[in-house]
Structure 1
Amino acid sequence: MTRPWRWLAGIAAGAALYIGLPYLLVQRGGLGIVTRGDPARRQVALTFDDGPDPRSTSLVLDTLRAAGVQATFFILPALGRQHPDLLRRLLDEGHEVLPHAHRHQHAWTLLPWVAFRDPGQATREVEQLTGTRPRFQRPPHGAYSLATVLGQHATGVTGVHWTVEARDWAADATPDTVRAEVARQVTPGGIIVLHDAGPGARTTPAALPGILEDLHSRGFEVVPLRDLRGARPGTLRDVWRTLRGR
């Protein structure tokens, strides 16, 4: 093998280790992260990413309060500092506040040392804002590199994924399509991801009343992640079952 081909082979092997394996085992297979709760219990966790934003998070909170529902918010700490009154409302109304990211950027595009530090930075910032040490963290886009995985382990937080992706951020999304996606995908023990800020906030506040109505009419208890029974990090056996589609 000539030297250029050796370099290319080395780059390919490095990419497979750094991105390919975390994508397959963690992001797709759920190894070491929470992906769902007890499938025998008619319960779902409702989660929101990317906030807080006073233009949209307030509308989401109004709907949750009217429905008597508490949820989990994976926040960007910088926005929490910018909007302390909104952060205080999240906490006062009993919602779970957890770290999303210090830098909202896809893990594959971050330099390795930046991706490694990000879970720890976000976790420490959220702890300073809330006074509570977070147990969980969800990276932007639910994406992992090897550095992300190692950074979570070094910080002592567990990653969280989802079973229901409502695509509220899609350019062609409407409140009706978001509501329909949740209704189509939801199963007992599931984790729903929506957005209370960013592109998803264009549709989610309007879709949320109907989503909650559908879930309650189907007998689902809607809870924050902390109350999702049976939620635990995935094992290699879970990965095998997931990748086999069972």
Structure 2
Amino acid sequence: MQRLNLGVLREGPPRPGQLALTFDDGPDPQTTPAVLDALKAAGMHATFFVLAPHAEAHPALVRRLLAEGHEVQAHAARHLHAWVRSPWSAFLDPGEAARRIAAVTGQPVTLHRPPHGAYTLATILGQRTAGLRGAHWSVEGGDWQKGATPQGTVQALLPRLRPGAVVVLHDAGPGARVTVPMLPDLLRAMQQRGLRSVTLKELATHP
């Protein structure tokens, strides 16, 4: 199911110069502001898949995400791999996360990316019941991997970036230790290659 990702948003149309950077596991007041600063300096936008408890704990940071033109979507109510939770828990989590996050943002949540990008049938049914579309990625940043470094991550990512790509990184959690210091370099390199990050909504709908 994780490999098939039936009906899941994995990438957008290959319009010249456009791709989507996405960030999971925030918001975190210790790391997310640096990610926002880098995006603002580069004039780019991204989609943040946030955890409901973190959004509720840091509403001012969520407001900053929205005020600066970023998209806020649902990651989870509880950050558990779908394969180790009960079917009922996996079914309920997308809807619960979306409701709690929407209460913070004041906006509808339309996308859900389960933790680790792991799907079960219960996850998919939960998404559909809640009116959500699954959101995966086409390029794995690998910032969370043991031994990952900022410079190595940039070098590994650049050859895989192409128009329409959806890139997953982390603005919180273990991956943030790599993404926060490497992001300014990545964005500069993208600019040099004529690439810019837009939100998933813009990637999917902009003519």
Q: TM-score if structure 2 supplies the norm length? A: 0.95
**Distance (Å, rounded) in 1 between the aligned partners of 2:54 and 2:202:** 25
Structure 2 Cα separation of the partners of residues 40 and 81 of structure 1: 35
The alignment yields a C-alpha RMSD, in angstroms, of 1.3
Q: Describe the superposition over 1:181-240 as per-residue Cα deviations: whole angstroms up to 9, x where unpaired.
A: 220221221001110000001110111011111111111131011100469xxxxxxxxx
**Larger proportion of helix:** 1
2:185 aligned residue (200, 210, 215):
210
Counterpart of 1:59 in structure 2 is 34
Selected match of 1:146 from 121, 126, 144: 121
User: Which of the two has higher C-alpha Rg?
Assistant: 1
SS of alignment partner, residue 2 of structure 2? helix
Contact 2:16 2:163 in 1 (8 A): yes
- What is the correspondence of 1:45-124 to structure 2 with a 5 Å cutoff? 45-124=20-99
Alignment partner of 1:192 out of 167, 170, 177: 167
Unaligned runs of 5+ in 2: none
Q: 2:157 is matched with which residue?
A: 182
3-state SS of paired residue (1:41): coil
Q: Secondary structure at the match of 2:4?
A: helix
Q: Which moved more, 1:83-92 or 1:67-76?
A: 83-92
- Aligned partner (choices 195, 198, 207) of residue 220 of structure 1: 195
Q: Which contiguous aligned blocks of 4+ residues in structure 1 show a shift greater than 4 angstroms?
A: none
SS of 1:133 mapped into structure 2: coil
Conservation of the 8 A alpha-carbon contact between 1:165 and 1:181: no
Identity %: 50
Q: Per-residue deviation at 1:110?
A: 0.6
Q: Structure 1 CA distance, aligned partners of 2:204 and 2:51?
A: 26
Structure 1's unaligned 5+ residue stretches are 1-21, 232-246
Distance (whole Å) between structure 2 residues aligned to residue 123 and residue 159 of structure 1: 12
Q: Which amino acid is the alignment partner of residue 182 of structure 1?
A: L
The AA in structure 2 aligned to 1:126 is I
Aligned residues: 206
Aligned to 2:98, what secondary structure does the other structure show? Answer: helix
Residues 67, 115 of structure 1: CA spacing in aligned structure 2 closer, same or farther, 3 A cutoff?
same
Other structure's SS at 2:9 match: coil
